[in-house]
Homo-oligomer: A and B are copies of this chain.
C-alpha cells in the first residue's frame, strides 16, 4: 500500500454555514482557565483543604464527546466482587477462547464498543451485518460495523447445553469472565464474511485466523470479566482504557481530541498531517487540541510490523521531537484488525468516540489491503472516507479527510502533494520502505526521524538473523 497521506479538505459533519464544529462551544465554555493543570473538575462542593479540589467527582461531567449510548460501558467486576464471581465461574460450563477472542473480551470489557455489553446476540449481529449500527433504547442508532461475536464448536455447544450462563477461559485455560443469559445461534461463516468484507476470496487474514478455524455456532450474552485483562508483554502501561483516556484528556484540559489510528510505523508524512490537523484546530479557535496517537494492538497480519517494534518506533518519534509530547498521548487500541476497509474504519472511528475523541483523521484506503487473489486494492481507496462520512451513529464525530502527501525531493521532506509540480514528488510505498529497511539502505532524508528509522532497521536485521538461524544452511552459495 502506498504511503499516501492526506491534508484536510473539509469537515464533513459540521454545518457548512458554521466553520466551528458542534462540540466547540461546549468544550471551550468549560475551560475558562485553559492553563490550569486540572480543569476537568466542574466544582460543585467546597474544595478539599488538602488538594484544593472538591469532592463529588462521580457527579462531575466531562466536557468531552459523549460515549455511544450516553454512558461508557465497564464490564470489569469491581475488586470486592471478584472472589465470588470466580467461585461462580468455577462451577459453570466452560468455553475456551482463542487469543483473538480474548482481545475482543478486552475491547468489550473496557467499553470501546459501548453500548454493547458482551459478545453479540443474534439481533445485534444481524443489525451489525445489515445496517452497521445498533438501535438504541432511545430510538437513535449507535454505529457498530464489525461483528463482535464468539464462536463455539459443536462439542462446546453440547457442553453448554441449556445453561443460562457460561464461564470463559483463555487459551491457557485460565478463567477470564462470565457470559450471562447466553443465546446460541448459527455461525453462517460465508454470509458473515461476504457482508463484512464484500468478498469471500480465500486469504483474508482475519478470516484465516479467526473464522475458518472457528466453530459453526455463535454464543452471545452479557459479559463480566473477573479482572482487567493484561498481556504482561511490557506494554500494558500503554493500554489505557477509554475511561483512562478520558481522564487523561480532562487532566490535560483538552478542548478537542483528534485520533489517529495506525498499524504502521510513523513517518514524517504522518507527522505532517497530525501537526497540520493541530494547527487547523487552533485556527478554528480550539485552545488545546490533544492528539491521540492510537496504534492498533490486537491481531495483525504476518507481514505487518509487530506491536513492540511499532511502540518503540513511536517512542523515538516523540523523543526526536517530530510530535510534541505535551500535546500527544500515545496509547494502544486493543482491537484486532479485520482489514475490512470501509466497514472496519467505522469501528475504528466509533471506538475512539468512546475514548473521548471528537475528531477523527481518515486517509486513503483506511483498513484496506490488497485483494487476496486479484492484482488490485481490495477496496476503492476513496470509499473508506466516504462511507465514514455517511455512517449512521457517527454524526457527532468530525471526520477529517486528508489529501495525498508524498516525499518532496526539492524541499527534502514529506509534504502535501502539489499536482502542478508532480515531478518533484516521490511516493514511497510500504513495500519500498520495508525494502529500504531490510537492505540497510537509507530512505531519503526527512522521510522518517533517524531514531525511528533505526528501530525498523534493527527489526528487519533481527528477522534476517532469525531467518538465517532457522533456515538450513544452503548447500552451495
Interface residues of A, Cβ cutoff 8 Å to B: 122-123, 126-127, 129-133, 135, 139, 141, 145, 186, 188, 190-191, 194-195, 197-201, 342-343, 379-380, 383, 386-387, 390-392, 395
Contact = CB atoms under 8 A, between A and B. Distances in A.
B195 A198 contact: yes
B194 A342 contact: no
Contacts of A198: 129, 188, 190-191, 194-195
A145 B132 CA distance: 13
A189 to B, nearest CB: 11
A105 B123 CA distance: 34
29 contacts: A123-B386, A126-B342, A126-B387, A126-B390, A127-B390, A129-B198, A130-B132, A130-B145, A130-B342, A130-B343, A131-B131, A131-B132, A131-B133, A131-B390, A131-B391, A131-B392, A141-B392, A186-B380, A188-B198, A188-B380, A190-B198, A190-B199, A191-B198, A194-B194, A194-B197, A194-B198, A194-B200, A195-B195, A199-B200
A387 B131 CA distance: 9
Contacts of A132: 130-131
A16 to B, nearest CB: 13
Nearest to A139: B395
Nearest to A198: B191
B387 A130 contact: yes
A188 B379 CA distance: 9
Contacts of A380: 186, 188
A207 to B, nearest CB: 13
A390 B387 CA distance: 21
A388 B195 CA distance: 17
A188 B377 CA distance: 11
Contacts of A391: 130-131
Contact of A126 (B130, B191, B383): B383
Given A131-B133, A132-B131, A186-B380, A126 B199 contact: no
Given A123-B386, A127-B390, 10 more contacts: A126-B386, A130-B132, A130-B342, A130-B387, A131-B132, A131-B391, A141-B392, A190-B198, A194-B195, A194-B197
Nearest to A378: B191
Contacts of A194: 194-195, 197-200
A390 B141 CA distance: 11
A342 B130 CA distance: 9
Nearest to A195: B198
Nearest to A143: B131
A280 B264 CA distance: 60
Given A130-B342, A194-B198, A197-B194, A390 B135 contact: yes
A132 B343 CA distance: 13
A375 B130 CA distance: 24
Contacts of A379: 191
A190 B139 CA distance: 34
A399 B385 CA distance: 35
A-B CB proximity, top 7 nearest? A191-B198, A194-B194, A194-B198, A200-B200, A195-B198, A127-B390, A130-B387
Given A191-B198, A191-B199, A392 B392 contact: yes
A387 B191 CA distance: 14
A59 to B, nearest CB: 32
Nearest to A127: B390
A97 to B, nearest CB: 25
Contacts of A201: 190
A13 B186 CA distance: 26
